[in-house]
Structure 1
Amino acid sequence: AVIVFAAAPLVSKIPLAALAGVLLATAVRMVEVGSLRAMARATRSDALILVLTAVATLALDLVYAVIIGLAVAGALALSAVAQQARLDRVPLDRGDHSAEEHALLAEHIVAYRIDGPLFFAAAHRFLLELTEVADVRVVILRMSRVSTMDATGALVPKDAVERLTRRGILVLASGIRPGQRRVLDSVGALEPLRHDGREYASTPEAIRAARHHLETAGILPAGTGQGRTVRG
């Protein structure tokens, strides 16, 4: 503001070619190549939105490009949710396992079940709830019921793992579907879990690993919780 009002005559003498070079360098530095590659590899929908928004920015205007990108992203997201929507009949004896989950909480373990699509609005809410978990040593991300996931949603588990790890909380994952794996791999969300062997096919396996970790650390006595588990 000081330069604009006090030194405008001097600034006006700067060649436009020099200012153009500054703008080009700034624009290039604003683009994260890694993020673009991750979105392009995640799903066809993410790649389509990326290309469409870029073309609209060049051909039309930045404001129109953002509006078009949001509209297309919303339409594709709703279409994906509609395709994944289904009504499952759940046996009465299955319940919601609240008793087992409360028992796990007493053992400093939280089995966090994620239901439905994980993207956009649900992503932010999920992250806030997860990072506010208190008095736990292990968090298990139960992802078998995630129906739809895009690149934005895939960044949420990655960020959650990083934040919880910084707080000294061990994070495990269970029930990741093949369709989700490609999206999660594209943003590097599974790399820390796979590297340390913290990804499991089912929740009972993850719970056994969590208890073993706590027993090894001396937080739980040996043999704690044998015969108790959360199904699914």
Structure 2
Amino acid sequence: MRFPTFRPRLVECLHGYNFGQFRTDLIAGITVGIVALPLAMAFAIASGVPPQAGIFTAVIAGFIISAFGGSRVQIGGPTGAFIVIVYGILTEYGAANLALCTIMAGVILLIMGFAGLGQAIKFIPYPVTVGFTSGIAVLILSTQIKDFLGLDLASVPSGFLDKCAALGGAIGTTHLPTAILATASLLLIIFWPKAWTRIVPGSVVALVLGTVAVALFELPVETIGSRFGGIPEGLPPLQVPEFSFSGLTALIQPATTIALLAAIESLLSAVVADGMIDDRHDSNQELKAQGLANIICPLFGGIAATGAIARTATNVRSGGRTPIAGMTHAVTLLLILLVAAPLAKSVPLATLGAVLVMVAYNMGEWHQFKRLLKWPRSDAAVFLTTFALTVLFDLTLAVEVGMVLAAMLFIKRVADTSQITPVSPETDTEGVQHSLQGKDVPDEVQVFRILGPFFFGVADRLETALKRAQREPQVVILRMRKVTAMDATGLNALENLYEKLTQKHRHLVISALQPQPYRAIKKGGLLDRLGPENVCPDIDAALARAKAILSQK
């Protein structure tokens, strides 16, 4: 019996660790910490919580995910993908229940990790992933229009269509200084030289210059201080949210949504990182670390966290190669919080809005819309459906429907590749060893060839093929050499065929069963009913058995 393990990659990385690598990790961690600061605040504000909640999350989750995760270079913290989900839960259930949802999501992630479900995430089809990612990008963009333009709007509806109507109705209240500052910040981020990005990203420069401009010129724009009253210096004390067991059931669905998105995004980020450093992460250990982070973060005022693709890539490009870099990034943010928290009062929300507009643009897979005509129509339909449901309804429904659609289309594709056809010495195209060519097949014997998996999407074709043959042979041979897998429906189809033939005093012989189908008929009891002598290793033995049956009549 294998017991669940808990082995962070940090343990492995510390073997042979030296000062040279520490120096590189230290520089990378400080760089990522600086990059993460404006993003953490922007994600928190867009999610409907104070900016410090994003910083608390980046500090606590960033440290835990790096220290206990399954990737060498993963950077954890709040991400843009959670904005819509966190905002929706906060609006519908309140702040206390948001914390409970996040803790429950952490428990779900822990269970997934210890249950070995990390590899299951790879079964989510690409069109589904791209569809909901692009949908989330559109939603993030829609949440930033108010702060980007400085609209005079007391509240913004959570529904996308209602939100668009409200924003459109308030477009005439655009605040010119805010719009100019936001546009200037966005242009700076866009046109910031890529060669300089490794030293200091454009988003950080925009944040600093925007803050300085507000302080020096006393620009009449909304800031963190005017809306939230500033950021506290240091982490808050431990606070366990109150709850009742009866009320937890209503939170299962949103908690599952958080867990699902955290798992998908963190493992996608880890895969991207693997490609950048030629490594392979431990997906189950990564889920365990994500679970721990999401359990602990809400106890200290944080929100949902996961692996962040952009910050992880920045870590790698800056030279980070071990979890020490990610832990340094968290410590850097904590030091900034302790030393420079009062300066955050002057950070303009317009600049943070510009940062998130750029995040949304980079997050969306916009080039895939151009490729839709080149995709198979079924994949394009899954992509567009997932995208539309994400934007118009919610992520959970989008992923569920997208997965069901993708599964149904996959089943259809597999079924289309499977064949059940009658064969004869004149029509058989198998190789010499397995072909009927040149072999004596009595008129009372008919051979059917099954190609591909014999499962519920194909099983009904067996009876159809027999009816189309318009013959009443005394012996039916099923050649199943190319059937690699068979499910319960396929087994049931064979049992039904056996019973119908037996009622008419006819016989069934099966040829060249593969290991899995053989185990299925043995375990299901069909082998005993059929008789081992009627399950033959190859077509020659099956024909010999058929002739022996005919000779007994």
Q: TM-score, normalised by structure 1?
A: 0.49
More strand by share: 1
Q: TM-score, normalised by structure 2?
A: 0.22
More helix by share: 2
Structure having the higher Rg: 2
